[in-house]
Amino acid sequence: MAALAPDAATWPWLGRRKPRLEADPDTIVAILGTLTEAGFLAPRTAVAGRWTLRHKAVSKSHVHDDGKLYVAVETEGLPPLYQEMYREIFAEHLAIWGFGEDDVGLLYHGSLILFWGPVATMRARRPATVALDRIGAADEAWIRRIEALWRDTASSFEEQINRLWVELAYGLADPARLKAIIRGKIALSALGMDALILPESHLQEWTARHIPGDLVEEIVAACCLPTSGYVAYDTFEAECWRLAQSIDSYDRVPEAARHRFVREGLFFRYDTLNTATKMYFFEKYPEEIAAQYSSALQSPKDASRRLREIAQRGWRRRYNRGWAHDTINTYVTDVPERKRFLALHMLMGTAREFDEEKRRLNMKFWRCLFAIADGVGISLSDAGTGLERICTVLDYGHGRIHLDPALVPFNQDGA
C-alpha cells in the first residue's frame, strides 16, 4: 500500500522542497564557528574539527544577531543507522512542514544536525504554531486529513515490518525489504504529529476560561488521551504480568514464557538494540521482571485481575474523552469558541494517538533490526554499521540469517 503524499490541501503552504543542504566545507566551518562565538555551540574536546551543543540537550534553538533562528540536534550516542535516519527524518520533516524555502538552510556535521532560517519563518512553520492556527480556525477538516495521512503512513510502515518479520522467521532477510522499512520509519517519523501536542499549561489556561475550576484538570487530561485509548506501555506491562504469572513452583521462568516476553515485551526498550547486552536482556532481565512483578501479586489469581484491568484501560480512556467532549458542549455556549475547543480536543487526541502508535511500531521495528544484526553477527553500535554495511553483509550471506530461538514467531507456545 503506497502511503498518501502530503499535499497542498493538507498543508496549504507546502512547496514539498527540502531546505537547501549546505555542503561547502568552508561555509559549514564558518557557520559553526560563528555559533561557537555566540555561545550556542562548542568544539568537541575528544574529536578535533567537530562541534556539539554547548549545554547538554538533545535539541536547542538560538536566535542570532543575523536575524535567523538556529536549531541544533545532537545525535551522538545513537547507533550509526539511527544517525543516518535522523538526517533524512529532519530533512523530510522540514519539507513537509513548509521549511523548504531558499533562505532556510540545513547542514550535517558529524553527529550534529543544524538548520536555520528567518525567525518569523521558523516560528510560523513550527507544528505547534500551525496547530494553534488550525485550532483557532476550528478546522476539523484539516485535522481529519492529517489523521488520515499519518494512519496511512503507519499502516504502510507496519505492512513492510510484518513482511520482514515473517521472512526472518524462516531465516531470511531481504536487503530490499530492510531498506523499505527504513524508508517507512523515516516517512512516519518525519510527519512529527506528536509535535502538535500543546503544552499542558496552555490547555489549562484555555479550559479555565470556560469550564468550572473543579473540572479543568480532568478536561485537560481527557483532551490529551489518545483517540483509541491505546497506550503502548499497557502492552509492555501486560507482558510483565504474564511473565510473573508463568513462574513455576520452583520460582523459575519457563522457557516458553521467557521467549514470549522477549518477542512481545522486551523491544519496547530502545536500549535492547545493543546486541552486546543480549545475554542480559534475553536471560537475566526476564527473570528480574518476573521477580519484581510477582512480588506485587497478592495471590496467584491477582495477575489475571491485573490483566483484565489493563484490558479495560482503552475503553475507559475513550469514555473519558467522550465525557470531555460532552462537557465542552455543555459549558461552552459561544458557538465559535465551542468549535475551536472541540477542534483542540480532536487534534490533541490524534496527536497522542500518533505518539502511541509510533511507540508500538518502534517495538516491532527495533525487534527486526536486532534480529538481523544478531542473526549476522554484527553490532548496530559499531562505527560504520549503517544501512549500506548491513545490506552488504546480508548480500554476502545471500540474505540468510540465524534467528535466535527466542525470536522465532511460530514457537511451540503458540504466541
Mean pLDDT of the chain: 90
How confident is the model at residue 16, as a pLDDT? 60
264-296: pLDDT as tens digits: 999 999 999 999 999 999 999 999 999 999 999
Confidence of residue 17 (pLDDT cuts 50, 70, 90): confident
Confidence of residue 48 (pLDDT cuts 50, 70, 90): low
Please provide the DSSP assignment of 241-263 as one string.
HHHHHH--TTS---HHHHHHHHH
Q: Scanning the structure block, which residue is given the C-alpha cell 531465516?
A: 171
| Domain ranges across the chain | 20-125, 140-415
Q: Name which residue leads in pLDDT, 14 or 34.
A: 34
User: Residue 2: is its pLDDT beyond 50?
Assistant: no
How confident is the model at residue 344, as a pLDDT? 96
How confident is the model at residue 14, as a pLDDT? 47
Task: Show the cell assigned to 217.
Answer: 484538570
How confident is the model at residue 47, as a pLDDT? 62
385: which residues sit within 8 A by CB, 6+ positions away? 79, 80, 81, 373, 378, 379
Average pLDDT (67-85) is 94
For residue 414, is it left (φ>0), alpha (ψ between -120 and 50) or beta?
left
How confident is the model at residue 158, as a pLDDT? 97
197-247: pLDDT as tens digits: 988 888 999 899 989 999 999 999 999 999 999 999 999 999 999 999 999
How confident is the model at residue 13, as a pLDDT? 42
User: Residue 408: is its pLDDT beyond 60?
Assistant: yes
